[in-house]
Amino acid sequence: MAGTAVRGRLTWQTATVGAVTDETARTRTLRLEVPDWPGHEAGQHVDIRLTADDGYQAERAYSLASAPGEPLAITVERLDDGEVSPYLTQDAQPGDQLEVRGPIGGYFVWEPGSGSGAPLLLAAGGSGVVPLRAILRDRSRAGSSVPARLLYSSRSWEDVIYQSELGFPADGVQVIYTLTRSQPPSWQGYARRVDAQMLAEVAWPAADKPLAYVCGPTSFVESVASGLVALGYPAGRVKTERFGATGQ
Amino acid sequence: MEDSALDGNAIGGLLHDVFGAEMTTAVGTCGSCGAVRQVAELVVYRPGLGTVVRCRSCQSVLMVFVEVRGVTCVDLQGLASLG
């Protein structure tokens, strides 16, 4: 049955690497050209599979960085001991081919109608900003006026992904940074890990019935999600996506 | 919670492959403690040999997936229900 698409099943497809853009020293955005891409929603991801010459395969999930309707793109953070990310962030060139399946996910997904106009709180640890960026781009493309705040925790200013884009947020969008390890000399913003006090200052009041999306390293997500619940957010209004122990 | 733990979002592709449908929004009931959660919220470990899904409330093993020669073996015995 190889090569036969079974209805309802995800199939591996060949993707061709398009333009690559370095975002930071450790992260790179890759456009992927996939014939017959069925479209996706903001917050979804794809699985990428690489096959070595000896047949060994490695597979990882990467959030889509692009909004629905935009050219397909992922942003990948290099993990020095990773099996897939070093190739994607250092070696992949336009024209290279790899295997992709997707779009994947229905839980960590935002659509312009999600939340019924309630304010949107996005909390990112490190490269957890990638699906949240897709949400912000989708919000803009859809002409949504839902008020949105992005709380973005990064090790340093140099590690901030999408720096220039987030520097000019759309109307109704605020971006609040916290830099946990090092800060520029004149830094006026937060300079610590996200904590209860920071959430109380930044998060929309629970009375506004906000919808929250939290993505990042597991410890970051656990801490932020429980902090939001402590502020009165119903657990069902806090969507979480954890990507393990990677740096924040 | 160990830092290496992922969550059910990470195995959306695997689950779609196994069940033939989007499963991260499916609701699973723990066979040990009765906790009810969406699959995306479950605790997932992928140590390399396979995938283990645990209950976020009591840590019981709910699902195990192991791929052997291209065939995915599935153990759902820890779940009281999934749907």
pLDDT tens per residue, range B24-54: 999 999 999 999 999 999 999 998 789 999 9
What CATH architecture is A13-104? Beta Barrel (2.40)
Three-state SS letters, A23-58? CCCCEEEEEEECCCCCCCCECCEEEEEEECCCCCEE
pLDDT tens digits, residue range A123-155?
A: 999 999 999 999 999 999 999 999 999 999 999
Contacts of A245 in chain B (CB under 8 A): 3-4
pLDDT tens digits, residue range B50-71?
A: 999 999 999 999 999 999 888 9
Contact call for A47 and B13, based on CB within 8 A: yes
Least Cα separation, residue B33 to chain A (angstroms): 19
Contacts of A47 in chain B (CB under 8 A): 13
Contact A32, A48 (CB under 8 A): no
A91 secondary structure, DSSP code = I
Nearest chain B residue to A217 by CA distance is B3
Query: A105 — contact with chain B (CB < 8 Å)?
Result: yes
Checking if the pLDDT of A156 tops 60, the result is yes
**Beta-carbon contacts of residue A1 (< 8 Å; ≥ 6 apart):** none
Contacts of B22 in chain A (CB under 8 A): 104-106
Q: What is the pTM of this model?
A: 0.95
Average pLDDT value for residue range A66-72: 96
Q: Quote the CA–CA distance of B83 and A214 in Å, as a whole number.
A: 25
Q: Which pLDDT value is given to residue B35?
A: 97
Other C-beta atoms closer than 10 Å to the C-beta of B50 total: 15
Contacts of A60 in chain B (CB under 8 A): none
Contact A246, A77 (CB under 8 A): yes
Best of A1, A6, A9, A10 to disrupt the B interface (most B CBs within 10 Å) is: A10
The closest of B21, B67, B24 to B42, measured between CA atoms, is B24
pLDDT tens digits, residue range A77-88?
A: 999 989 999 999
Least Cα separation, residue A159 to chain B (angstroms): 21
Enter the tokens of residue A203: 């998060």
Q: Which pLDDT value is given to residue A8?
A: 65
Q: Where are the domains of chain A?
A: 13-104, 114-242
Contacts of A6 in chain B (CB under 8 A): 20
User: Which amino acid, A174?
Assistant: Q
CATH no., domain A114-242: 3.40.50.80
Contact call for A10 and B4, based on CB within 8 A: no
Beta-carbon contacts below 8 Å between A and B: 75
Query: A242 — contact with chain B (CB < 8 Å)?
Result: yes
Considering only CB atoms, A108 lies closest to which of B3, B6, B9, namely B9
Contact call for A107 and B39, based on CB within 8 A: yes
Strand partners, A45: A63, A104
Q: Which pLDDT value is given to residue A5?
A: 46
Query: A131 — contact with chain B (CB < 8 Å)?
Result: no
> Per CB distance under 8 Å, which residues of B are interface residues toward A?
1-10, 12-13, 16-17, 20-22, 24-25, 38-41
Least Cα separation, residue A39 to chain B (angstroms): 15
